[in-house]
Amino acid sequence: MATIKATCPMCGDVDLGPRQVQVLVVEAIEDSESRRTYSFTCTTCGDHVVKVADEDTVQLLGTAGVKIERVPVPDEAREQHRGRPLGYDDLLDFVLWLDTHEAIADELAAANWR
């Protein structure tokens, strides 16, 4: 089992096992904007420590046996969008349009939409 040396801001260097370290990667559309952190609970003082990590650190921790949790970008975020974004007036127009179309309003009411 690999020993991971991490630094607690209060206690200094501590030795940890792979199960004592958590890695979280929140992916972004651009890889350079992804957020990577690793965290651990200090074995000396008990503080929970979270530190920013680069991709090399994430890969090194993964090689040492640390489980890496990845939060992927939803597919919808990668879709191409055309036209301008919806605004408040667009939403208001849609609500007013729904009021004039009884069949859709009845369907939504039957489905308990609010």
Number of separate domains in the chain: 2
Regarding whether 63 and 32 lie in a shared domain, the answer is: yes
Query: Domain range for residue 36?
Result: 4-77
Closest CA to 25 of 68, 63, 77, 74: 68
pLDDT in tens, the chain (114 residues): 789 999 999 999 999 999 999 999 998 878 778 899 999 999 999 999 999 999 999 999 999 999 999 999 888 888 888 889 899 999 999 888 887 877 776 777 777 655
State whether 18 and 47 are in the same domain.
yes
Domain match, 44 and 22 both: yes
